[in-house]
Amino acid sequence: MEKLPYVPGRGLVTETSTQLRLEYLKSLEIDTDEIEKSNLCFQDIRNKIESYIGSTEVPLGLVGPLLFNDSEKPEYVYTSVGTLEGALVASMNRGCKAISKSGGFTAQVNLQVMSRVPMLLFEKEIHGLLLIEYIDSEFLKIKKLAESYSNHVVLLGIEPIQMGKAVHLRFNYTTGDASGQNMTTICTWHVLMFIIDQLKKDKNIIPEQYVIEGNGSADKKVSYFNIDKGRGINVTAKCFLNEDTIKKTLRTSSKSLMSSYLPSVELAKKTGMVGYNINVANAVAGIFVATGQDLGSLHESSVAKLTLTPYENGLEFNLNLSNLVIGTVGGGVGLPKQSQILKMMECYGNGKVERFAKLIAGFALGLEISTFSAIVSGEFAKSHEKLGRNKPVNWLLKSEVSEHFVRKCFKGYFDDKLAEQIVIEHDKNLENGILTNITSRVSKKLIGFIPVSLQVKNKTKKVLLKSKPTDKEVIKGLHMLAASIDPKLSDLIRKNAPNLEYKNTHLKEIDIYKYLSESNYQYAPTFYGYHLNKKREIYCFIQEFFENKDLKIKNSEDNPEQWNSETILNVISAISSFHQAVDVSKFKNIQEFSAISSKDLYKKLLNLIIEDKAGRNGTNEQLKILLHDIDNLEKENIGIAKTVIHNDFNPRNIFIKNNGQPIFYDWELTVIDFPHRDIVEFLSFVLDEDFKKEELLYYLKFHFNLYENENWADWLQAYIYSLKVFLISRVSFYEAMGILIKYDFSERVLKVALKMLEVLKSV
């Protein structure tokens, strides 16, 4: 065997030793470029790691608000969890929402103890008995000595356990605000040395062997003894959820929860589960990562018992964490990011460990409630459904997007020979649309925008590469999200998928951009080419990139104040020029949209919104009328020709250049419908909530006058019909998804669109 390789600077944590180790790894052709990127200071980590080479990152998610009742004045608390498990943060937040809406949670610390159990082996059993006698007689002296080696420990007692010639001494301490594992080790070691010294001096007894830990403390392991007697902090959190919250927020009932809970507990006992919980470890691990706790203690810290108790109008949830090994001082909690999160929780430093334990228990309780409800309601299974994918696909990966790949995408729309150099800007993130973000949660393929720089005649030209999900992936993403709202809603989305605007979304946008490019339509980004590979599900295209400095209005869905009358009229005129000129027959992948074909889905969405908004605002009566109107949509006979429309025509998808020219993008939801649909959606975003009737009619009459030989009565009826379709098929999605992911613009757009509808009905 060759000589063992020498790693330079082993054990040291200095800038020089770290650099030597990195160079050593590179000499072995091991790439460390990403690993060595770190903001950690050597001074901060010197006693926390050895042979340092860099750091890894775990994304942090915000959890809260969670209503905490720990004093006369209830407070909303927050935490952060570090995780790479999708949906964990969302689930914790749903549980927090349920707890908070029902009045919050209370918590109690029952016990704090940290143990260390040294083992001594003697020649004779009698020597062990003499040791035990000595400890009993000299405990106060031993206690004083142990506590002299720390500012935090208090020695509560020493419990001897003799097993033949072996004696185990269980030292039980409280450790203040530190987790105490290292602290108790040091204190116990000094006491052990003292005891051995005294035995030799007073009794002439010398143990044959002794060790600081004989595994009696079950350090970082699950132990029934520790569950019963304590190790770490024993804390209990509880809350009462009323039936209304269980139904509206958790989408189940107390009866269903109890029906599943009781037999589940019985099976857990039969199969030997330690304690009973759903997924406490996820919450504890996430908070441990975020706050610098000892991850080796996760195993014992996740021992938990969840108890449900039924009452007349709801359920009491009780969660006990018996062995929570945590600290608010010492260890990794002092690192910059970890301490900042503890400060967010008001749990950093001395006197804070009990509050920290209570909050961990409260946030873990939120996750337990949410996950158990998801399982009982069917949401958990539905959100993990594969939706029919039978075999893996060789998807496009980020690493494949190279200069060669980009050149392949130009497809004759751009003379790529003019680009001397192509630079892929993988490190720059662009904000993607709602659909892309939803779909990214269910697919590992490359989805969304990638900026690309072209060097053309010594000038830099930026373009955007967009990789699209398939329509099946979009439906899968919506299905998963809907499952967290109501499992029946997810079923309806899948059932109605062929009728929805998401059909062929991966093909429609490319078709539209090709058409717009060939028609020289000036109100869309320049189209540079595309690349399709059906087998690998690659649907990419390249379009013009707009710099912020060149735009007057961008992503203004939350800012109607940015829109003035002139700009609104320009947009209406520009989109109308498309509506009137486009040849419907040229688009085989774009279908006519029929809301009535999916009326069961839209009725479900509206019912969910009505239920969620009960008693909170004045829109419910209008929504109930709209719900009734769904059945009458098919009876409306409007004598106006349908055309290809954008169908996602809102300020998120509209730029206004500095010269006032509108640019329309994200055409992926294009369908065939009345042109009025784009107009009413646009106006519902850019009009103020207190708009006047005259203002609305001014814009609508302007739109009407852009056409010839049309009848105002039919035109008005098409507006009313289009508003209803917009409300039931799009705004209903925004509002229903807002149960999970709140869009700032959603409620405002709902109110404006409903007011527009009322105004037009009165004309």
The Cα 348–Cα 643 span in angstroms is 62
| Cβ atoms of residues 484 and 379 within 8 Å | yes
Instruction: List pLDDT tens digits, range 147-186.
Output: 999 888 999 999 999 999 999 999 999 998 888 888 999 9
Contact predicate 477/471, CB 8 Å = no
Task: Name the burial class of residue 239, with classes exposed (0-12), middle (13-18) and buried (19+) by CB atoms within 10 angstroms of its CB.
Answer: buried
The per-residue pLDDT for 412 is 75
| Residue 301 to residue 283: CA distance in whole angstroms | 11
pLDDT of 143 reads 94
What is the SS3 assignment for 671-731?
Answer: EEECCHHHHHHHHHHHCCCCCCHHHHHHHHHHHHHCCCCCCHHHHHHHHHHHHHHHHHHHH
Provide the mean pLDDT of the chain. 91
| Nearest partner of 86 among 484, 559, 486, judged by Cα | 484
CA max distance for the chain: 117
| Measured distance CA(161)–CA(227) in Å, rounded | 18
Cα separation, 607 vs 611, in Å, equals 6
pLDDT in tens, 578-599: 999 999 999 999 999 999 999 9
| Measured distance CA(201)–CA(219) in Å, rounded | 32
Q: What pTM was computed for the model?
A: 0.80
C-alpha 752/C-alpha 726 separation (Å) is 12
| Position 97 pLDDT exceeds 90 | yes
What was the pLDDT predicted at 41? 87
Task: Give the pLDDT band of residue 425 (cuts 50, 70, 90).
Answer: confident
Whether 666 contacts 510, CB under 8 Å: no
**Domains in the chain, CATH or no CATH each:** 1-57 (no CATH), 70-112+222-377 (3.90.770.10), 118-211 (3.30.70.420), 393-545 (3.30.200.20), 551-763 (3.90.1200.10)
CA torsion sign for 58, 62, 67, 69 is positive
| Residues with Cβ within 8 Å of residue 168, at least 6 apart in sequence | 117, 118, 119, 160, 161, 162, 214, 216
Rounded CA separation 543/613 (Å):
41
What pLDDT score does 288 carry?
96
Q: How confident is the model at residue 752 (pLDDT cuts 50, 70, 90)?
A: very high
Q: Write out the two tokens for 157.
A: 């007692």
Cβ-contact 543, 399 below 8 angstroms: no
Question: Does residue 388 register a pLDDT over 60?
Answer: no
Residue by residue, DSSP assigns 602-644 as: HHHHHHHHHHHTTTTSTTHHHHHHHHHHGGGGGG----S--EE
Residue 3: band (very low, low, confident or very high) from pLDDT cuts 50, 70, 90: confident
Flag whether pLDDT at 742 surpasses 80: no
Distances (CA, A) of 127 to 123, 170, 362: 7, 18, 49
At residue 621, does pLDDT exceed 90? no
* Tens digits of residue pLDDT in 257-316: 999 999 999 999 999 999 999 999 999 999 999 999 999 999 999 999 999 999 999 999
Most confident range (mean pLDDT) of 384-388, 462-466, 655-659 is 655-659
Residue 465 phi, psi dihedral angles, 5° rounding: -95, 130
pLDDT for 9 equals 80
Of all residues in the chain, the percent with pLDDT exceeding 70 is 96
Supply the pLDDT for residue 566.
97
Residue 522 near residue 660, CB atoms below 8 Å = no
State the average pLDDT over residues 652-675: 96
Residue 446 pLDDT level (bands cut at 50, 70, 90):
confident
Length of the chain: 763
Whole-number pLDDT of residue 1? 54
pLDDT: which is higher, 436 or 698: 698
How confident is residue 13, by pLDDT bands cut at 50, 70 and 90? Answer: confident
Q: Is the pLDDT of residue 616 over 70?
A: no
Cα–Cα distance measured from residue 325 to residue 175, given in angstroms and rounded to the nearest whole number: 11
Q: What are phi and psi of 658, to 5 degrees?
A: -60, -25
Residue 441's pLDDT band (boundaries 50, 70, 90)?
confident
Confidence band of 460 (pLDDT split at 50, 70, 90): confident
| 10 — pLDDT class (breaks 50, 70, 90) | confident
Q: Cα-atom radius of gyration of the chain, to the nearest Å?
A: 33
Query: Can you tell me the mean pLDDT for 69-91?
Result: 90
Confidence of residue 729 (pLDDT cuts 50, 70, 90): very high
Q: 241 vs 338, 486, 680, CA distance in Å?
A: 32, 18, 41
More confident residue, 635 or 642: 642
Amino acid at 149: Y
Q: Is the pLDDT of residue 377 over 80?
A: yes
Looking at residue 429, what is its pLDDT? 60
Residue 404: Cβ within 10 Å count: 9
Whether 323 contacts 303, CB under 8 Å: yes
Place of tokens 């704090």: 112
Which amino acid appears at position 232 of this protein? Answer: G
pLDDT for the residue 440: 77
At how many degrees (to 10) do helices 505-518 and 471-483 cross?
130
β-pairing, 119-121 with 304-311? unpaired
pLDDT given for residue 64 in this prediction: 93
d(CA 577, CA 236): 65
With bands split at pLDDT 50, 70 and 90, how would you rate the model's confidence at 43? confident
The answer on pLDDT for 530 being more than 90 is yes
pLDDT at 353: 95
Contact in structure between 176 and 131 (CB atoms under 8 Å):
no
More confident residue, 442 or 735: 735
Q: Are 105 and 237 in contact (CB under 8 A)?
A: yes
Q: What is the pLDDT of residue 407?
A: 86
